């Protein structure tokens, strides 16, 4: 910035030469800007750190910076003024703002430093000398100072100031009081003599005076009342004290008057001149400890007439005094009452230092012995002599394990009131100290009494034993946690039976519980069959007692008999036992005798027991609790194997080797592994290793050289922290130079070996180019099918090296790619012909591919990424072989990570109709030596044909779903459409139409090249299902012996048994079977209705001669019905009973 620009800016901000000087000084001060005293600013001016300006300083133009952090600006006389070079305009504006506040209208003009009032009071007036110190801020200005004092009348005034200042009275206003005009900076002393009227009240005298706000204020007032008869009152935020001046006078001093002087006093009558009338109010809290009953009393005593310097109180009968305090503003502290009646120690006197009218607050604490078992406590006393009005409230605190009831004694008994009558009283909240009151009583006069019966409640409590047994190789640690819960009463102690013979071999370590009086284990517990745990405080809710014991275990000595400690309670739940073992320990826990031991699931284990991995939980649900424990300690077992991955394609001229070293560790965690590194891979510099060790292929491990060497390798160690069990995988990555990939070129690959345990198996995975394969030499390496783009070889045992050989490809390679997913769609025609479309999601860019078709399947077309292959790109290997080589070099992508889609359309020409039922066999194209990660089959049947049996080796991706009244098989939601990679390509093509067709969907991990199942027509399904059910229904109707529950159970069992092997056919036949049952029930209903109509006979009335036989003197018996085996005989009618009338037709039939 140029000096000319600075000058224009200064002219715009400040007018005149003086303000330009202020600008320069402001820039010098704003860097160190801080709040300062206003008076100092007025007297000394703003502080600046700029050097003094001399007459020989350079004139303009001047350099902006002299190298010392200073720049020069133009002053009022055109000379340069030095200011800090880091000064900013924001700092200047802040300085100007604060300067204006300090010198503007909002700046403080004065303050009242102190007020001192001294004087005397008579019956009507108080004469006060008022000394006021006033601090004036501005120089040479008149400042109006309001002093208030509106209640006083001025008599004399005087003013003093060291600098010759002046003070002139302004005026008196009712709202503002007296005001003074004062001029002169500094401290002014204004002395006033005022008259203040005294307000006469029934209880004494009072003066009030409004004062200005000040930090310090004090009053010294002489009163015509002796100190021993003086009673005064000042505001709560003021402090006062009286002094004896003799001659029946006293002086009252008050500090902290604030804005209002408010003092009242009373002359107390002399003792004996007025009859004393006291009143007392008592708040009594009755509390309980283990051994005593404690009365905490807050007693307020005051005089309605007269004054007192002592009180006589009768203490409750049978109680001893623990402490007495006075707690009021006049005289607080400890008191020691004295007995006034040798014959009655309960009569005591509390002496005060001076006469008072009160109120006096006394806090008593008394106690008596707690009754044992069932007893009675009486509360009375605290009667104040000469008190005409005495009342109080009594609160009874809760006590665990006891029932407290009132005993009626007479008309002076305290009355029971609601508990809310004391809960809202501040004195009771103070006395309670956090405890809760159970009942409340009130009395209105003395003497009174309150008799309470204390009865111990029989406790009812439960216990849940939780036992934790920790097993190491040679030691067992027992931790028994007894969880108690008290539902009624309170518990002072618990008992843990553990007979000495059951405890043999165990050493008690400790007993832990909440507020245990007793002792740690070992103090007298080893000699007793019963362990007692006492509590310092009675327990009335939940609490836990923990017992810990230890013992040695010798597995060679045979099983150990375990009998755990128990707990005596009103009710106990079966103990839960959790056994935790070390990694190298196995145990066998068996019940003996009549002990019942059941496995405890983790979900049902009490959360208070921490179930570590590998722990076993039990429940002991029997009166007898004896177990046999056999412990077996195992040595660490480590099994190792390795898989070597060799990649000859990624980096030209280099072989990338990944050696996966797998550890299977049992019984004890593995702390480190030791490996032998071939000399060709061992790096001489630890900071530049040739072999990179990884954990789970992500975490880098740091090997440590153990300095152990052989002629071919050196040893390294990899530490594992913490020690690990189970499966551990360490990956070693390194690169070596690759020989030229020519036919029959061979080389030896050195391998990393384990120095802990030899490898049980070695696997070799080789990834090479399409035209040249890398194979191991030696007959012990066996080729295996493997997922991915590589071929895997395996051999038993450990190999320190492997001999590899390049071999030229005799035919096209089909394993330089990965089939991620295959979707095979087959549509079956009514004549048995099959139309299929196989879709393959391929990862990689193969140049050629070999596909074969099992008979009688034949291809129709091939498409690569949606483009149909030309005829010259499809070559059959041998006429009629059904093996084809697809040339993809012109259409495949160049990167091995590319995703490709291959579509193969195929068919099977057959003329055999599906008919009622037929076994079907489906085939898909096959890729020799190529792994398919996942295969999905979508099979469509003609209308009217259904899947009867399901193919094996695949998972059905459909389930039975109900649609209104009928059930059908529906595909799972994720299989209703084609996969995403195939759906993008199928839009608007025949492939999309195939996907829209209802199909049975199956899936499998790995290649599935053939499906076998049986289909069945709808009519056959209905015939079989309904016909079988109808036949069973007719069997039940026609064979009465089958109509029982056993038949139904046998049929249900048979259906369930068949469903184990043929679940799909059974589910399919269920719906038509229901139809057959409905038909059978309908037929049975129709048959029953027809039979009822057939049996309904119509009675026809005939002539009396038809109903009455001919008269005869011989009585005839009833003729036997046709078919009766009884012989023809004449029987007396009387023996047969009354004969029913019959129709004429029946009579004729009977007779002949």
Residue 1112 C-alpha from the chain's centroid: 107
Bond into 61 cis (ω within 30): yes
pLDDT of amino acid 1041: 83
- Kindly indicate the confidence band of residue 1125, based on its pLDDT and cuts at 50, 70 and 90: very low
Nearest of 4, 34, 24 to residue 71 by alpha carbon: 24
The position carrying tokens 């002094």 is 243
Q: By the 8 A CB rule, do 815 and 930 touch?
A: yes
The answer, yes or no, to whether residue 462 has pLDDT greater than 90, is yes
Assign 67 to helix, strand or coil. coil
Cβ contact 8:23 at 8 Å: no
State the average pLDDT over residues 113-132: 93
User: What pLDDT, on the 0 to 100 scale, is given for residue 992?
Assistant: 58
Pairing of strands 216-223, 249-255: antiparallel
Cα→Cα distances 1072→411, 805, 1029, 1060, Å = 92, 66, 8, 20
Strands (DSSP E) contained in 198-270 are: 199-201, 204-210, 216-223, 230-233, 239-246, 249-255, 260-267
Convert the pLDDT of each residue in 228-250 to its tens digit. Answer: 778 888 888 888 888 888 878 89
Q: Round to whole Å and give the CA distance between 37 and 587.
A: 86
Burial class (CB in 10 A: 0-12, 13-18, 19+), 395: buried
Q: How far apart are CA 192 and CA 197, in angstroms?
A: 16
Determine the Cα–Cα distance for residues 1064 and 947; give it in Å rounded to an integer: 9
Least confident of 54-68, 211-225, 1031-1045, 1091-1105: 54-68
**Residue 1146 pLDDT > 70:** no
Model pLDDT for residues 482-516, shown as the tens digit of each residue: 999 999 888 888 999 988 887 788 888 888 887 66
What's the pLDDT band for 112 if we cut at 50, 70, 90? very high
User: Does residue 518 surpass a pLDDT of 90?
Assistant: no
Sequence-ordered list of residues with C-beta below 8 angstroms from that of 464, at least 6 positions apart, any chain:
482, 483, 485, 572, 573, 576, 606
Strand boundaries in 519-653, DSSP class E: 530-539, 542-552, 560-562, 571-572, 576-581, 585-591, 597-599, 616-620, 627-633, 637-647
Q: At what angle do helices 1063-1095 and 1045-1061 cross, to 10 degrees?
A: 160
pLDDT for res 84:
65
CATH dotted code for 460-633:
2.60.40
What Cα–Cα distance (Å) separates residue 1028 from each residue in 525, 946, 1072, 1074?
78, 19, 9, 10
Per DSSP, the three-state class of 427 is helix
DSSP assignment letter at 1037 = H
Q: Using 50, 70 and 90 to split pLDDT, how confident is the model at 825?
A: very high
Domains of the chain, residue spans? 3-103, 110-267, 277-456, 460-633, 662-808, 818-1017, 1020-1088
C-beta separation of 416 from 406 below 8 A: yes
Q: Which of 761-775, 790-804, 1058-1072 has the lowest mean pLDDT?
A: 761-775
Sign of CA dihedral 37, 43, 45, 49: negative
Q: Which of 446, 385, 430, 388 is nearest to 283 (CA)?
A: 430
Q: What pLDDT was estimated at residue 56?
A: 43
Are 960 and 947 within 8 A, CB to CB?
no
Helices 17-29 and 3-13, packing angle to 10 deg: 110
Question: What per-residue string of b and e applies to 183-209 under the rule 16 or more CB within 10 Å gives b?
Answer: bbbeebbbebbbebebeeeeebbebeb
Tokens matching residue 360: 């006096």
**Is 606 exposed, middle or buried (CB count within 10 Å of its CB: 0-12, 13-18, 19+)?**
middle
> Where does 110-267 sit in CATH, by number?
2.60.40.1730
pLDDT at position 810 is 46
The DSSP bridge pattern shows strands 166-173 and 80-84 to be unpaired
pLDDT at 612 over 60: yes
Return the CATH number of 818-1017, one of 3.20.20, 2.60.40, 3.40.50, 3.30.1360.
Answer: 2.60.40
CA distance 296 to 285: 5
Residue 425: what pLDDT?
87
- Give the pLDDT of residue 1138: 46
In terms of residues, how long is the chain? 1152
Domains 110-267 and 460-633 are alike in CATH topology: yes
Question: Percent of the chain beyond pLDDT 70?
Answer: 78
pLDDT value for 470: 92
Rounded (10°) angle between helices 1063-1095 and 1018-1038? 40
What does CATH list as the number for 277-456?
A: 2.60.40
pLDDT at 1043 exceeding the cut of 90: no
CA 384 to chain CA centroid, Å, is 60
Q: For strand 1000-1005 and strand 917-923, is the pairing parallel, antiparallel, or unpaired?
A: unpaired
Question: Average pLDDT, stretch 407-425?
Answer: 88
How far apart are alpha carbons 1005 and 867 in whole angstroms? 28
- Rounding to the nearest 10 degrees, give the CA dihedral for residues 815, 821, 823, 824: 40
Helical ranges in 104-193 per DSSP H? none
Alpha carbons 401 and 388: distance in angstroms, whole number? 40
Residues 543-588: pLDDT tens digits? 999 999 999 988 888 888 999 999 999 999 999 999 998 888 889 9
Q: What is the pLDDT of residue 1115?
A: 42
Is the CB of residue 655 less than 8 Å from the CB of residue 738?
yes
Q: Given a cut of 70, is residue 893 above it in pLDDT?
A: no
Beta bridge partners of 733: 658, 692
Spatial strand order of the sheet with 249-255 comes to 153-161, 186-197, 125-136, 110-121, 216-223, 249-255, 239-246
Tell me the per-residue pLDDT of 141-169, one tens digit each, with 9 for 90 and over.
Answer: 999 999 999 999 999 999 999 888 999 99
What is the SS3 assignment for 441?
strand
* 253, pLDDT greater than 60: yes
Structure tokens at 234: 């000042």
Closest by CA position to 573, among listed 608, 620, 527: 620
Helix axes 89-103, 17-29, angle to 10 degrees: 110
pLDDT attached to residue 273: 56
Structure tokens at 929: 């030596």
Q: d(Cα 325, Cα 2) in Å, to the nearest integer?
A: 84
Q: How far apart are CA 450 and CA 285, in angstroms?
A: 13
- Give Cβ neighbours of residue 1054 (< 8 Å, ≥ 6 apart): none
């Amino acid at each position: 910035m140029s000096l000319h620009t600075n000058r224009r800016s200064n002219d715009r901000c400040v007018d005149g030469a003086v303000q330009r000087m202020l600008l320069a000084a402001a820039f010098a001060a704003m860097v160190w800007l801080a709040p300062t005293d206003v008076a100092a600013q007025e007297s000394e001016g703003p502080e600046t750190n700029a050097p003094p300006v001399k007459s020989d300083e350079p004139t303009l133009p001047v350099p902006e910076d002299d190298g010392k952090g200073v720049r020069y600006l133009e002053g009022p006389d055109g000379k340069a003024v030095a200011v800090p070079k880091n000064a900013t305009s924001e700092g200047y504006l802040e300085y100007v703002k604060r300067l204006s506040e300090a010198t503007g209208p909002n700046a403080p003009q004065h303050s009242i430093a102190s007020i001192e009032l001294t004087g005397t009071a008579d019956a009507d007036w108080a004469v006060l000398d008022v000394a006021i110190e006033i601090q004036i801020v501005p120089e040479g200005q008149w400042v109006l100072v309001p002093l208030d004092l509106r209640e006083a009348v001025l008599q004399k005034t005087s003013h003093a100031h060291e600098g010759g200042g002046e003070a002139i009275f302004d005026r008196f206003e009712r709202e503002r009081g007296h005001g003074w005009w004062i001029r002169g900076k500094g401290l002014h002393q204004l002395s006033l003599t005022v008259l203040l009227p005294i307000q006469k009240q029934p209880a004494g005298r009072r003066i009030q005076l409004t004062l200005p706000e000040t930090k310090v204020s004090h009053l010294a007032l002489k009163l015509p009342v002796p100190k021993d008869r003086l009673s005064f009152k000042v505001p709560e935020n003021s402090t006062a004290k009286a002094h004896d001046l003799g001659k029946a006078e006293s002086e009252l001093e008050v500090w902290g008057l604030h804005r209002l002087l408010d003092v009242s006093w009373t002359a107390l009558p002399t003792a004996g001149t007025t009859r004393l009338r006291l009143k007392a109010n008592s708040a009594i809290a009755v509390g309980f400890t283990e051994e005593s009953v404690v009365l905490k009393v807050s007693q307020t005593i005051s005089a309605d007439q007269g004054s007192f310097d002592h009180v006589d109180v009768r203490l409750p009968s049978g109680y001893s005094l623990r402490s007495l305090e006075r707690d009021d503003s006049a005289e607080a502290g400890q008191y020691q009452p004295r007995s006034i009646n040798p014959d009655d120690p309960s009569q005591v006197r509390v002496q005060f230092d001076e006469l008072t009218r009160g109120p006096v607050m006394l806090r008593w604490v008394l106690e008596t012995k707690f009754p044992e078992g069932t007893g009675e406590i009486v509360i009375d006393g605290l009667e104040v002599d000469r008190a005409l009005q005495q009342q109080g409230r009594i609160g009874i605190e809760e006590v665990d394990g006891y029932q407290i009831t009132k005993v009626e004694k007479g008309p002076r008994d305290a009355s029971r009131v609601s508990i809310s009558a004391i809960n809202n009283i501040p004195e009771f909240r103070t006395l309670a100290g956090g405890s809760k009151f159970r009942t409340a009583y009130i009395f209105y006069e003395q003497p009174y009494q309150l008799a309470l019966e204390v009865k111990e409640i029989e406790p009812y409590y439960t216990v849940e034993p939780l036992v934790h047994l920790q097993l190491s190789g040679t030691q067992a640690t027992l931790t028994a946690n007894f969880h108690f819960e008290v539902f009624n009463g309170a518990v002072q102690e618990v008992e843990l039976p553990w007979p000495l013979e059951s405890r043999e071999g165990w050493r008690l370590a400790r007993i832990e519980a909440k507020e245990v009086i007793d002792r740690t284990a070992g103090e007298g517990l080893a000699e007793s069959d019963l362990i007692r745990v006492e509590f310092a405080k009675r327990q009335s809710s939940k609490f836990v007692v923990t017992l810990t014991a230890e013992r040695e275990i010798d597995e060679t000595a045979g099983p150990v008999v375990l009998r755990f400690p128990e707990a005596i309670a009103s009710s106990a739940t079966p103990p839960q036992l959790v056994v935790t073992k070390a990694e190298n320990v196995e145990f066998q826990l068996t019940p003996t005798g009549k002990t019942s031991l059941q496995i405890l699931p983790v979900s049902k284990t009490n959360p208070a027991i921490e179930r570590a991995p590998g722990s076993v939980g039990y429940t002991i649900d029997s009166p007898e609790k004896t177990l046999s424990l056999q412990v077996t300690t195992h040595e660490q077992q480590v099994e190792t194997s390795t898989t070597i991955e060799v990649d000859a394609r990624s980096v030209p001229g280099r072989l990338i080797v990944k050696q996966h070293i797998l550890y299977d560790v049992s019984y004890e965690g593995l702390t480190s592994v030791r490996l032998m590194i071939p000399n060709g891979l061992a790096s001489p510099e630890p900071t530049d290793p040739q072999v990179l060790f990884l954990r789970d292929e992500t975490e880098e491990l740091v090997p440590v050289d153990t300095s152990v060497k052989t002629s071919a390798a050196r040893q390294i160690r990899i530490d594992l922290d913490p020690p690990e069990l189970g499966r551990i995988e360490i990956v070693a990555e390194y690169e070596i130079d690759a020989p030229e990939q020519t036919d029959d070129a061979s080389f030896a690959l050195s391998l990393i070996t384990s120095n802990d345990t030899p490898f049980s198996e070695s696997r070799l995975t080789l990834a090479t180019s399409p035209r040249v394969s890398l194979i191991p030499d030696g007959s012990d390496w066996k080729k295996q099918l493997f997922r991915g783009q590589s071929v895997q070889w395996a051999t038993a045992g450990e190999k320190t090296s492997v001999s590899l050989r390049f071999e030229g490809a005799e035919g096209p390679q089909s394993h330089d790619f990965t089939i991620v997913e295959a979707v095979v769609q087959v549509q079956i025609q009514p004549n048995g012909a099959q139309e299929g479309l196989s879709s393959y999601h391929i990862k990689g860019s193969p140049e050629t591919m070999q596909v074969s078709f099992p008979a009688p399947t034949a291809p129709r077309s091939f498409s690569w990424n949606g483009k149909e292959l030309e005829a010259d790109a499809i070559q059959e290997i041998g006429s009629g072989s059904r093996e084809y080589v697809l040339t993809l070099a012109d259409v495949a992508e160049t990167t091995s990570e590319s995703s490709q889609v291959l579509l193969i359309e195929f068919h099977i020409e057959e003329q055999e109709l599906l008919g009622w039922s037929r076994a079907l066999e489906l085939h898909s194209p096959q890729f020799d030596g190529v792994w398919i990660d996942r295969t999905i089959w979508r099979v469509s049947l003609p209308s009217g044909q259904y899947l009867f049996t399901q193919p094996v080796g695949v998972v059905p991706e459909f389930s039975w779903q109900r649609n209104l009244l009928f059930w059908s098989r529906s595909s799972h939601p994720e299989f209703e459409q084609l996969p995403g990679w195939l759906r993008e390509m199928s839009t608007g093509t025949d492939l999309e139409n195939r996907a829209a067709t209802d199909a049975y969907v199956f899936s499998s991990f790995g290649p599935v090249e053939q499906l076998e199942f049986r289909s069945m027509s709808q009519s056959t399904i209905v015939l079989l299902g309904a016909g079988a059910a109808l036949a069973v229904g007719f069997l039940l109707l026609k064979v009465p012996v089958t109509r029982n529950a056993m038949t139904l159970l046998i049929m249900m069992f048979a259906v369930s048994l068949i469903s184990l092997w043929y679940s799909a056919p059974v589910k399919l036949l269920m719906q038509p079977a229901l139809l057959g049952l409905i038909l059978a029930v309908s037929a049975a209903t129709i048959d029953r209705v027809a039979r009822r109509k057939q049996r309904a006979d119509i009675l026809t009335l005939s002539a009396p001669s038809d109903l009455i036989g001919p008269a005869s003197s011989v009585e005839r018996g009833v003729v036997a019905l046709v078919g009766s085996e009884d012989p023809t005989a004449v029987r007396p009618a009387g023996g047969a009973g009354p004969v029913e009338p019959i129709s004429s037709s029946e009579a004729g039939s009977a007779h002949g």
